């Protein structure tokens, strides 16, 4: 998810933000205590798009006996937590195209009912240790669209990746739809 050296030389400078503990706690508030996997997140922004590098820990699965590896359900839960934090931080700092008029109050109002994962695909390359792993997520674009009677929405393709210290890897793509937007 890092640009080649030649591209970085001509790219505008990135802004970087370390974990906002207060914001992280609020983003994770809807989750049951044993399902709060996101531990920290560094958000980067450049050219109207944002990305995050995160640390996760899943002490035990919230729904199944220990599989010994990150599974599809946990990949999705970790993605949602990473995405919610990235959007909230991007709104707070004014980083992400399409969200220029949003406030944090708008984000809290939309967080659960209006942010939809329209498509989700994950590729497991090597098993990932769930007790301690990292994740990355990047917005590829955000465009405003209209869907007939449903009204305007924001369409946002994203990519993500998880890794652990032992070479475990899972990556994928998710398309988000932010509905009921002004």
Which residues in the chain land under pLDDT 70?
A: 1-13
Query: How is 16-71 classified by DSSP, letter by letter?
Result: EE---HHHHHHHHTTS-GGG--EEEEEEEEETTEEEEEEEE--SS-SSSS--SS--
pLDDT of residue 4: 55
Q: What is the pLDDT of residues 15-57, one digit of tens each?
A: 999 999 999 999 999 999 999 999 999 999 999 999 999 999 9
pLDDT of residue 19: 98
Question: For residue 59, which of 39, 32, 37 has the smallest C-alpha distance?
Answer: 37
pLDDT of residue 2: 54
pLDDT of residue 42: 98
pLDDT of residue 151: 84
pLDDT of residue 11: 60
User: What number of residues does the chain have?
Assistant: 182
């Amino acid at each position: 998810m890092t640009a080649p050296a030649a591209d970085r030389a001509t790219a505008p400078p990135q802004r970087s933000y370390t974990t906002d503990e207060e914001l992280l706690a609020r983003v994770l508030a809807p989750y049951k205590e044993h399902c709060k996997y996101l531990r920290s997140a560094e958000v980067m922004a450049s050219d109207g798009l944002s990305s995050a590098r995160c640390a996760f820990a899943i002490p035990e699965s919230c729904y199944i006996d220990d599989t010994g590896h990150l599974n599809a359900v946990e990949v999705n839960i970790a993605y949602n937590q990473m995405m919610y934090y990235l959007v909230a931080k991007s709104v707070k700092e004014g980083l992400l195209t399409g969200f220029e008029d949003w406030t944090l109050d708008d984000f809290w109002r939309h967080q659960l009912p209006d942010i939809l994962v329209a498509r989700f695909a994950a590729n497991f390359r090597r098993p990932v240790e769930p007790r301690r792993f990292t994740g990355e997520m990047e917005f590829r674009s955000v465009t405003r669209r209209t869907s007939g009677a449903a009204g305007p929405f924001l369409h946002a393709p994203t990519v993500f990746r998880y890794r652990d210290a032992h070479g475990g890897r899972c990556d994928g793509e998710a398309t988000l739809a932010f509905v009921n937007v002004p």
